[in-house]
Amino acid sequence: MHIGERKQQLMTRRGVMLFGLMVLPFAALVGRLYWLQVVTGQKYRKLSERNRIRMHLIKPARGLILDREGTPLANNVKAYQMKIVGEQVKSPKQTLYKVSRLIELSSKEQIAVIEQMRRTKSFLPVVVKERMQYDEISKVMVNLPDLPGIQVGEEWLRFYPLKSSAAHILGYVGAPTAQQVKKSDDPLLTLPSFKVGRRGLERTLEKELRGVAGKKESEINARGRSIRELNRLDAQDGDDIRLTLHRDIQANLEQHISKYSGAALLMDVETGEILAAANNPSFDPNLFVKGLDSKTWASLRDNLDKPLLNRFAQGLYAPGSTFKMLVALAALEEGLASPNERIRCVGHMQFGNRRFHCWDTHGVMNLNEALRHSCDIYFYELADRLGVDKIAEYAKLLGLGEKTGVPVPEDDGLIPTRAWKERVYKERWNKGENLVTGIGQGFVQTTPLQLLVMTARLATGKKVSPTLVLGPKQEFEDLPFKKEHLDFVRQAMSDVVNHPRGTAYFARLGKFKFAGKTGTAQVVSKRLGKDFDMSTIEKYERPNGLFVAFGPTDKPKYALSVVLEHSGSSSKPAKAAKEIFKDLTKLIEKGVV
C-alpha cells in the first residue's frame, strides 16, 4: 500500500472519530432541547407567563350605611396610601429610612412595617402610610425612582361623617384577625390593607356590605413595572344598607341624655322600626379605621364610664318600678287582683322575719293609684300572690329576659325563676324574693331595648318586634291579654304623667299627650328614703333612673325608653323624655317625620 493511501485511510478514520465526537454533544444538546421544549415545555411556559403576567385582586367598594332618609352614616372616602412591595426592594430598612427623610415616618412605624412585611407574601403590598397629605404625595412622587418597591395610589377608606353619633349601632371596620383569615376562603382577606367589620352592623352585616373581589391581569417588565392590562373582571360592590334610624331624631336623643351615662330609644310601635338608639358616652369609630395607638385604646378600655359598651342592647339594669305594669297586668289576667281592690301602705310591711319598705307612706289606695304613685307595698302584695314563675311567664310575653333579634350584639337579660335559682345557685327560691322581683329589683336584669319592646307591646297589645334595617312592613300577632286589662294599664300610665298626683306630672306636654312610668333602681344595698340627699353618696352608688313611655295616649304611635345611670331618681329621665317628645312633635309639624 502506498504511503498516500495509508495517509488517506488515517485521515478518514480521524474524520470519523472527530465526527463522532461532534455528533455526541450535538445529540445531547438536541435531546436537552427536546426535553426542555417538548417534555417540560408546558411547565416552563407557565413559569415564564408568571414572570411576565401578574394577577391583581380588585377590591370592591364597601356598601354604604344610610339612615331612613338616605343620609350616609358610614361611607367611603378617597385617600392616598403609600405601600411597599417586598419582592421589589433589596433593603426595606434602607428604603423606609429614605422615605422618613421626605415625610414623617417614625422609627417605630418603620419597624412595624418591616414586621408586617415579614408576615406578608413578598408580592403583596404592605401599607406604609394611610391618608397622605398633598405635600407628602408630592415629595414621594418626585423621589420615586430612588425608592424601589414604593407605590402611591388611591384607596377607598371607611368614613363615619357623624363621628360618635350612632357609633354603637354602626360599629367600625378594621384589619381581619388571623383566625378570620384562616377560616375564610375569600382572597380579599389576604390583602394587608383590606378592612372587615369588627363591631356593630359593620360586623353583623359584613356579608352584605363587603362585596365580591374582581381581578385583573397585567403584563410587567423585568423591573416589575406594569406595562399594560391584559384582562379584567370587575369587582361587585357591597350592598347599601338603609336603616330605620332618623338622623335628626338620633341627634335629639343623644343631646337629651348627654349629661349622664345611659341610653335612650324611640320606636314606631306600628312597624317596630327603631327611629333612634342613643348611647352615652360614645366613641368616634374613625379612630379605629386609622388604627388606635396604645394610649388612645387604653383611655377607651379603662374609662369607668365604659364608652365602648352598647348600653341600649348590652347594658343590664334592674327595671325598678317600670316593671310594675307587668305585675299589675299579670295579676289582673290571673284573677288575683281587681282594679278596685284597696291596700293600705304604711311605709313598710312585715314578711316573715324581714321588713320590706316603700319609698313613701301612701295610705289606702287602689291599683290605679298604686301605679300612679308607684307604691311598693301594693306590688309586694301582688307579687306574693303571683309567685316568681308566673311573673316570669308574663315577662317573657312582654319581651323581657330574651334577645329581641336586632342585628347588633345584645344581652339576654335575666328574668329569674325557681328552676333558674336552683340550677345556678343550688338553692331553693325564697318567698321573700317574690316581693323584690315584683318591684323590678333582686335578680331581674333588663336592657333598655327590652324595656322599649315591653312598652310597645303594652301600648298596642301586639307582639311588636324591633328592627334596625328598613324592609317589608312587619305584621304583629295579638298578645293573649284581655282588652280591658290592657286599657286599665294604659290609663294608669297616662295618669302617671297627666294626673296632678302622678309621679311624672311635671313631664306632661300640652300638644302631645303621652303615657309613661317612672322607675328608680338601686345599685347598692342601702336604704334610700324619699328625701335622701344623693349628694352625700358616691356617684357610682347612686340609683339608676328609668322612664318608659308611649304616645299619643289615644292612638299610640311611638314608644320610648330612657335609662340614666346614677342619676339618683326617675325625674331626670322623665324630663329627658319630655324634651324628646317635644322635639319629635316639632319634626312632625315640619313634615320631617
pLDDT mean values, one per 10 residues, the chain (593 residues):
58 60 60 57 51 74 96 92 85 88 88 85 80 85 86 87 96 88 84 86 95 82 63 89 97 96 98 98 91 86 94 97 98 97 95 91 96 97 98 98 96 98 96 96 97 98 97 95 98 98 95 95 68 70 94 97 94 97 93 81
pLDDT of residue 358: 93
pLDDT of residue 149: 86
CA dist list (Å): 337 to 16, 332, 442, 496:
126, 5, 23, 20
Domain regions of the chain by residue span: 3-54, 57-240, 247-289+311-589
Helix or strand (DSSP H, E) at 210: helix 206-210
CA-based end-to-end distance of the chain:
126
Domain 247-289+311-589 -> CATH class: alpha beta
CATH superfamily of 57-240: Penicillin-binding protein 2a (Domain 2) (3.90.1310.10)
The region that residue 205 occupies, defined by phi over 0 for left and psi between -120 and 50 for alpha, beta otherwise, is: alpha
pLDDT of residue 11: 57
Burial environment of residue 460 by CB neighbours within 10 A (0 to 12, 13 to 18, 19 or more):
buried
**Contact present, 218 and 53 (Cβ < 8 Å):** yes
Q: What does the angle CA 63 – CA 65 – CA 68 come to, to the nearest 5 degrees?
A: 135
The Cα–Cα gap between 244 and 84 comes to 42
pLDDT of residue 47: 46
pLDDT of residue 122: 78
Q: Do domains 57-240 and 247-289+311-589 have the same CATH topology?
A: no
CA dist list (Å): 371 to 67, 126, 411, 440:
37, 64, 28, 13
